[in-house]
Amino acid sequence: MDHFNGLTPAEAERLALLCEELGEAQQAIGKILRHGYESTHPDGGPTNREALEREIGDVYAAAQMLEDAGDIDQPRVEAWRECKLVNVAQYVHHQAI
């Protein structure tokens, strides 16, 4: 029986992976906002900056999996990325864009 959302198990898995990685990136950002880029867990490990770098890489990888599978269109993603860089300039207060 098909699932109501029409997703294949592979499509759902790719979306779940992207969702997980976005959450992990959010967690890393929260740590930086609370404790700074150079802070580490009291037990050691990477800095919060290194943790964010890893999680952003994971997000890129998960997004690429959707592109490679044809779930989303890479040229349209790129067009939206470029559009965002142009449009966000009018809404930021502290960036040298």
- To Mg ion, the closest distance from the beta carbon of 70 in angstroms equals 23
- To Mg ion, the closest distance from the beta carbon of 62 in angstroms equals 8
Comparison of 58 and 63: residue with beta carbon closer to Mg ion: 58
Max distance between CA atoms of the chain, in angstroms, equals: 53
Comparison of 55 and 83: residue with beta carbon closer to Mg ion: 55
Residue with tokens 């269109």: 73
Comparison of 55 and 63: residue with beta carbon closer to Mg ion: 55
- Cα distance between residue 3 and residue 1, in whole Å: 7
CA 78, 80, 86, 89 torsion: positive or negative? negative
- To Mg ion, the closest distance from the beta carbon of 61 in angstroms equals 9
Looking at the DSSP bridge assignments, the partners of residue 47 are 40
User: Interaction with Mg ion in 6-65: which residues (CB under 5 A)?
Assistant: 21, 24, 55, 58
Comparison of 24 and 67: residue with beta carbon closer to Mg ion: 24
Helix, strand or coil, per DSSP, at residue 21: helix
Q: How many Cβ atoms are within 10 Å of 17's Cβ, its own excluded?
A: 17
Under the rule (CB under 5 A), what is the footprint of Mg ion?
A: 21, 24, 55, 58
